[in-house]
Amino acid sequence: MMLMLAQRIMTSRHFYNYPQYMKDEMIQDGCLKIIANLKNMKEEKRKSFFAYWTRCVWTAAIVYLGKHYKYMNNKRKLMLEAIAEAASQSNLPVS
């Protein structure tokens, strides 16, 4: 049930242009987050547990995207620094 819910969330327009491997990771993270947060579910929220699960999956997807973009930005920064260092060592002009 929670897998179907997570897959349905990944078909929304907010996640449309992401590649399938990222969607699969977000689905897995969302299902793990649901399982981890079952003990935190309060009695008054049991009436709308689908809303609670949806919020868990949505939050897990946003956290995954934040980590992914942070990693990619760090990787890009390191690559640019390596290129600049290689260019300075070879006395070539950097454009």
What's at 75, amino acid-wise? K
Structure tokens at 56: 């868990």
Backbone angles phi, psi at 38, to 5 degrees: -60, -35
| Tens-digit pLDDT profile for residues 43-87 | 665 677 788 888 889 999 999 999 999 999 999 999 999 998 888
CB atoms within 10 A of CB 67: 11
Q: Name the percent of the chain in helix, strand, coil, to the closest 5.
A: 85, 0, 15
List the chain domain ranges.
21-37+47-89
Q: Is the predicted pLDDT of residue 37 greater than 80, yes or no?
A: yes
Q: Is the predicted pLDDT of residue 13 greater than 80, yes or no?
A: yes
Structure tokens at 28: 């897995």
User: What is the chain's mean pLDDT, rounded?
Assistant: 87
Reported as a pLDDT band with limits 50, 70 and 90, residue 93 is: low
So what's the pLDDT on residue 94? 58
Structure tokens at 88: 């300075």
